[in-house]
Structure 1
């Protein structure tokens, strides 16, 4: 499978059914010749307007299934991470 094949797939979290986005990059372990993680850019609506945002690094062991159109992942901590970012954004606005 090519990296470009991964970049066309939507990433879905099976914990809450939310779309996390599309894969933008892969983290590789060149010494062992394996993929360590997939990288999905995250943008909130507010930050997305101004080009901000960050990347969600999803370890390879969190991937449940790779389908023809989607990559299913199990990420319990995504919700907590998103809530933390929202609190930080609100705190900066004060």
Structure 2
């Protein structure tokens, strides 16, 4: 289990900067406007996640062989890393809501 998480973390690091940027943009909008913009930033996060998925899939196709040889399928990598990224987003929303 730990090995799989390390492999997923290695994969996540390849797009973590872009994903973190979009999460911070969403969080700053939520901080400023509150729940009135939640549906908008939710769909913004989903849309940017799809864009990241497309670009990583397009530009790093051959890296999937590396992860497959380590025992991780493409689907498993994406489910775990996007799930992790979305959990960070939701936790940040909850924290901002509690602080505000």
Q: What TM-score range do you get, normalising by the shorter chain? A: 0.3 to 0.5
Q: TM-score, normalised by structure 2?
A: 0.32
Higher share in helix = 2
Q: TM-score, normalised by structure 1?
A: 0.34
Higher share in strand = 1
Say which one has the larger Rg: 2
Structure with more contact order per residue of length (Cα contacts < 8 Å, sep ≥ 6): 2
